[in-house]
Every structure is written in C-alpha cells, then in structure tokens.
Amino acid sequence: MGSDAAAILAGLDPEQREIAESLRGPVVVLAGAGTGKTRAITHRIAHGVLSGVYAPERVLALTFTRKAAGELQGRLRALGAEGVRAQTFHGAALAQLNHFWPQLVGGEAPKMLPGKVSALSQVVEGLGLRLSGEALRDTASEIEWRKTSMLGIDAYAARVDSRPLPLGLSAEQLVEVHRGYAALLEERRQIDFEDVLVLLTGMLESEPRAALQVRERYRFFTVDEFQDVSPLQHALLRVWLGGRDDVCVVGDASQTIYSFAGASSSYLLRFGAEYPHARQIRLERNYRSVEPVVRLANRLMRDRPGALTLHATREGAVPEDLAPSFQWFAREQDEAEAVAGSVAAAMLAGTPASEIAILYRTNAQSARFEEALTRRGIGTRVHGAQRFFERADVRKAVMLIRGEAKVADSRPLFQIVSDALRASGWTAKAPEGPAERERWEALGALLSLVDEMPPGTGIREFSEELLARQRSQHEPTLEAVTLSAIHAAKGLEWSLVHVVGLSEGILPIAHADDEESIEEERRLCYVAFTRARDVLRLSGVEGGARSPRRPSRFVSEAGLLP
C-alpha cells in the first residue's frame, strides 16, 4: 500500500476503516445518524483510487440531491480522488439518455417538462374539472409515485382505491387525469423527471450495445442514502451493474422519510438476501450529538425494524439546563415568541446564528417564527427557498471574481476577492435593514470561502472552486438562523435545534391515520431530533378551544412526558 493510500485510513474508527478497506464485492453499510458515514464512503473511494484498485473514471458515486453530490465531489477532490464522478440518479441517467438517444432512436432526446403542475392544469381543464393548486400538486406527486413504483396506468387503476385521492377528484377521474397527462406529454414530445429513469432503464435492458458501453465506463458503484431508493432507481442500478456485484450501499432504515414518493427501505434491509455473500458493517458510534440527545433518539426508535442503537462518543456531562426539554404553549404565537427568545439568548451566550435551526413539519409553519426573529433583529434563512448561487447579487459577484482570475495579479487572494465584493456593493460593516443584511451576509459568505482554501491558493484556483460549487449547488454557510421543514433538513446538523409543532395532528400530521404512516412520522421526528449536536428544544401548541390538541405521542415515547 502506498503512503498516500495508507494516510487515507488514518483517523478512521475500526468500523469506518473496515468499510474503507472493503474495496471489492457487495458491501452494505448500516449507518446511524451522526456516525460518519460520508467520511467512511469517501475514504473508501479515495483508498480504492490511491491504492490502484479503482480507476477513478470507472467509479460512480450516487446520491439523491445535487447538493449532496456536490459535497461528495468536493470531499473526494480534497482526498485526492480526482476523476471520480458523484452524481444524482437523475443526473447520471439524463447524461446517458442524451448520449444514447441519437445513436439508438435518432435525433435529439425529448425535452424535459419544466414542471408537472401547469401541464396537469391543462389536462384537468380539458376534462371539464376544476382543482386547487394544492390538489394539482397532490396529483403531480401521485404521478411521481406511480412511475417510481414502476406501475403502468392500468396497474395503477387496479390499486387506485387504496391510494389517497387529491381533493376534488374521484378514483376514476384521477386515473383519467393520469391518462390525459401521458397523452399530453406524448403529443408535445416531452418527458418528465421520472421518465428519464424509465426510458434509460428500458433502453439499457433492450439495447445490449448501450448497456455494454455503460458497464465498460462504470465498474464500481457507491450508493448513499440507500434507504431512499425507489423500485425504479433500484431497477436502474441493477441494469447498470449487469450481474456484477462491485457495489457499496449505505443507509439507515430509521431515516426513511420519503415513502410517500416511492422510497423503500426494503432494498437496504434485504441487501443480504439479494447478495448473500455481501459484507455487512454497522456504524453506531455517534460523533455528532451529546449523550442525552442520543438517548432520546434511541428511545424513539426502540424495537423498530432495522433500527440501530446509537452510542454517544462525546465525553463530558451535559448541564441540566441544556438537557433536551419540552414546552407546551396555549397559542402558536406564544410558541414563536418563546423560541425566538431562546434563539436570542443562545446568540447572546455565543452560539453563532448559523449554528441554530428551527425545524417544523410543514412549510406553512415557518412564517410566524421568521417574523418573531426578524422583530428581534435576527437574520433568518429559509432552507429550500432560493438557492444561494441563483441570487442575482451572488451571480454578479461570482462573475466579477471570475473576471479577476483572467489577469495576472500578485495581491493576496483575500484582498482580490474582497475588492471584487466591494465593487458589488459589499462593505466591511453590516447594514441595519433586514433585506440589506441578507444581501450583505450572502456576499460575506463568498469571502468566508477564502478561509477554507488551502494556503497558497491563487485567484484562478478560487475561481474554479466557485464554478464547481455553483454547478453542484454546494453552498457556503450563511450567518443566519435556519428555518427548515424536517424533510429538507435531512443530512444537516446544528448546535442548537428547536423542533416545533410537536402536537397531535401536526407531528404526527393529521392525515397519518394508519400504522405505516405513523411510523413514517416517527422516522421524521427521529431525523429532526438527530440534527442537534448540543442542545435540543422541543415544543408544541394546544391550539384554539374549538380544536384543542394534545402533545405529540413522540414526546412521551422519547421520555420527556410521563
């Protein structure tokens, strides 16, 4: 083993090292929250490349969001694994579809539909129906579920009675909308997001030459968040592998929170049955959270199928006033004011705004917390809103920095970047107004990236790093309190986390009316709890006299209520 390859293994715990050294054959990693699974799989790939087992261009690392793919790509670059591709399932599939379509079908591949809702609105109108925007979005989600579950319309029609119906549609009308949507796409010669996977899977199954080219290109596969794969994604992965078994999958059944979109943890839990000689490695050492948070999470998932038992590794007792707690409020506004006061006190005690998050079940809950924080002069960032690199002010600043990279310049990198930002209107002193403050923080985040670069980095290398981050949506950290739906917070972590709205009918949500959907809500709550590193605060609201609520069952099951 070369010195670089050996150095890659340094600092890994025994289980992480076992993963990094298991370079061939099927490997399944059952990785609990905060156990360093991304570190383990990136070091595994880098170890394979640096030891000569993997040719980097033959490795494909797959995940579910462009942001996660960008972070994987960045970590692999830093570890010396240049040339390895980290992509989403859809990104990899779209590139292959566009490559093979002219050869096998002729002409350009069909254009991607920008979004389903406007097309569905046209279909619904053509059927003489009227639906609200929410019902149209629910119908779009149902089409996505059908396709990711690999059901044709006739097969779906046989099961539609067991599916949730969008408001205003009967089962028969819903099937007709599916048929009308399919006909409209065919008429327009367009495809949607799910069709990319459907078409590529069919193409590779029916065209051996194309399948051979893909299998020649990619020999070693890593799939992150494997608990979230759908039947369609699993089918495409099997086609990519083509009977080979050099695949490493990583996941946590307790973090399966996309069942409504077709995800199934069964592929993770049954991986050993699919590959009987697979090596299974469990990551249960939690490096993220203090012991009381870990204990709370374990209680919530005790005896659930596939649940791991986390073991806290952080030492030191947690003061009683910082232990996880639950507060119950009479009104929503009372909860918002109390949470904002807690955030303000934490910031006064030295916790950076970027290390604080408020997590909720639905996006509609965010406004009152944003308002309460804004009244205290605390900046907020709604996670999942406008992407950082799509902001007009950020785009302008990146353009100026890239312009600076085209000329020789002996000034230090920090000065070059700060001068470019000043030309975009940035100042060293923070402005007063919330909108100006948000813009100032966004431009300042670009400057903070200079500190993350290796010593000696020049403006050209920094410019290329910005371009790579822009392409992959790998965003810098903004100094603002994060407001986020729990679904969007998966994979993230903060020092202080407030999980709000822990009331029956909110979390678990009102329409979770059977055991399966309640378990999905439980896993969502588990994801929320395990985002906290140091302090976890929980709260709920009784609501009005006409529809009073009780505290969420998950609070008592976690041990915070008698």
What's the mean per-residue pLDDT of the chain?
Answer: 89
What pLDDT score was predicted for residue 468?
78
Q: What is the DSSP letter of 401?
A: H
* Location of structure tokens 């590794």: 313
Does 477 carry a binding-site annotation? no
Examine residue 11 and state whether it is found in any structural domain, yes or no: yes
Per-residue pLDDT for 94 more than 90? Answer: yes
Residues 25 and 148 occupy one common structural domain: no
Structural domains in the chain (count):
4
Which pLDDT value is given to residue 404? 84
pLDDT value for 436: 61
My answer on whether 498 and 378 are in the same domain is: yes
Domain that holds residue 519: 291-385+480-557
Same domain flag for 11 and 148: no
In a domain, 17, yes or no: yes
Q: Identify the CA nearest to 74 among candidates 46, 113, 99, 34.
A: 46
Residues 549, 487, single domain; the answer is yes
Instruction: Specify whether 381 is located in the same domain as 496.
Output: yes
What is the percentage of the chain residues whose pLDDT exceeds 90? 59
Phi, psi of 34 (to 5 degrees): 75, 20
The last residue of a domain, from among 233, 251, 283 = 283
Q: What is the 3-state secondary structure (H, E, C) of 236-260?
A: HHHHHHCCCCCEEEEECHHHCCCHH
pLDDT band per the 50, 70, 90 thresholds, residue 407: confident
What one-character DSSP code corresponds to residue 503?
B
Q: Which pLDDT score is estimated for 251?
A: 95
| Residue 428 pLDDT > 50 | yes
Residue 416, pLDDT above cutoff 70: yes
The answer to the question of whether 34 is labelled as a binding residue is: yes
The whole-number pLDDT of residue 343 equals 97
**Last residue within a domain, chosen from 265, 283, 301:** 283
The alpha-helical segments, DSSP class H, found in 81-132 are 89-104, 116-126
Q: Output the pLDDT for position 434.
A: 46
Confidence label for 510 from pLDDT (cuts 50, 70 and 90): confident
Across the range 259-287, mean pLDDT stands at 93
Dihedral over alpha carbons 365, 368, 374, 375 (to 10 degrees): -170
Residues 378 and 517 in one domain: yes
CA distance 507 to 509: 5
Q: Are residues 228 and 371 in the same domain?
A: no
What is the Cα Rg of the chain in Å?
25
- Transcribe 126-139 into DSSP letters: HTT----HHHHHHH
Examine residue 99 and state whether it is found in any structural domain, yes or no: no
In this structure, the answer to whether residues 201 and 256 fall within a common structural domain is: yes
Domain assignment present for 273: yes
CATH of the domain at 550: 3.40.50.300
Q: Which residue has the higher pLDDT, 388 or 320?
A: 320
Give me the mean pLDDT over the 171-192 stretch.
94
Residue 38 known to bind ligand:
yes
Of all residues in the chain, what percent carry a pLDDT higher than 70? Answer: 94
pLDDT in tens, 96-119: 999 999 989 888 889 999 889 999
pLDDT(237) > 90: yes
Tell whether 33 is in a known binding site: yes
Is the residue at 100 inside a domain?
no
Cα separation of 198 and 473, whole Å? 26
| pLDDT tens-digit map of 33-71 | 999 999 999 999 999 999 999 999 999 999 988 888 888
Whether pTM exceeds 0.85: no
Look at 451 and 119; give whichever has higher pLDDT: 119
